[in-house]
């Protein structure tokens, strides 16, 4: 796995990078284990994840639900996909589960309840 891949994957998955994509938790759920009809993406083998992202981007995977992923993959490079897949596979990084907690940016309610001030765009 290229150096820095997991950190890059994390930035893309949790924050959408710098506009390349959208934070995955919006649709895939805070734990990335799926939400309603949206499948889980955490813990899949990287090769599977890259394949799906690539298939959606190049139109090999279609359907009304796949349409929702079009904007997500539109600007991703294959390196971005590999980085995302590496981050999503717990066996390629430690610690695993804690990393899937929603970033504070997307859990303003909880952050406030816990007494933290509202931070926007924080890292
Ligand atoms: C706007 C909603 C939305 C966002 C944001 C989103 N997804 Fe998805 N994603 C979906 C839907 C809906 C599907 C199911 C597509 C289908 O059934 O063909 C899906 C499917 C997938 C799949 C295929 C899963 C499988 O088991 O076949 C992967 C991988 C995936 N998304 C990764 C991501 C990643 C990584 C991100 C963040 C960078 C992301 N998605 C952000 C809606 C979204």
Residue 118 has pLDDT above 80, yes or no: no
Confidence (pLDDT) at 9: 96
Closest CA to 89 of 41, 40, 21, 25: 41
Q: What whole-number distance in Å separates Cα of residue 37 and Cα of residue 51?
A: 20
**CATH class given for the domain over 5-113:** mainly alpha
Confidence (pLDDT) at 99: 54
Question: Is 72:23 a contact under the CB 8 Å cutoff?
Answer: no
What is the distance, to the nearest Å, from the Cα of residue 33 to the centroid of all Cα atoms in its chain? 11
90 close to ligand 1 (CB < 6 Angstrom): no
Q: Parse the chain into domains and list their residue ranges.
A: 5-113
Confidence (pLDDT) at 93: 60
52 close to ligand 1 (CB < 6 Angstrom): yes
**100 CA from centroid of ligand 1 (Å):** 16
**120 CA from centroid of ligand 1 (Å):** 25
Residue 82 has pLDDT above 80, yes or no: yes
Q: Give the whole-number percent of the chain exceeding pLDDT 70.
A: 72
Residue 8 has pLDDT above 80, yes or no: yes
Closest CA to 88 of 1, 64, 116, 61: 1
**41 CA from centroid of ligand 1 (Å):** 7
Q: What is the mean pLDDT of the chain?
A: 83
In this prediction, residues 14-43 reach a mean pLDDT of 96
């Amino acid at each position: 796995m290229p150096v820095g891949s997991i950190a890059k994957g994390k930035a893309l998955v949790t924050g959408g990078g710098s506009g390349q994509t959208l934070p995955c938790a919006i649709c895939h759920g805070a734990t990335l284990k799926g939400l309603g009809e949206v499948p889980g993406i955490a813990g899949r083998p990287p090769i599977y994840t890259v394949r799906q992202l690539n298939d959606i981007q190049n139109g090999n995977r279609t359907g009304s639900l796949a349409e929702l992923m079009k904007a997500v993959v539109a600007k991703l490079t294959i390196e971005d996909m590999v980085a995302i897949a590496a981050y999503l596979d717990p066996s390629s990084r430690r610690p695993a589960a804690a990393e899937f907690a929603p970033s504070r940016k997307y859990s303003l309610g909880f952050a406030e309840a816990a007494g933290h001030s509202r931070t926007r765009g924080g890292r």
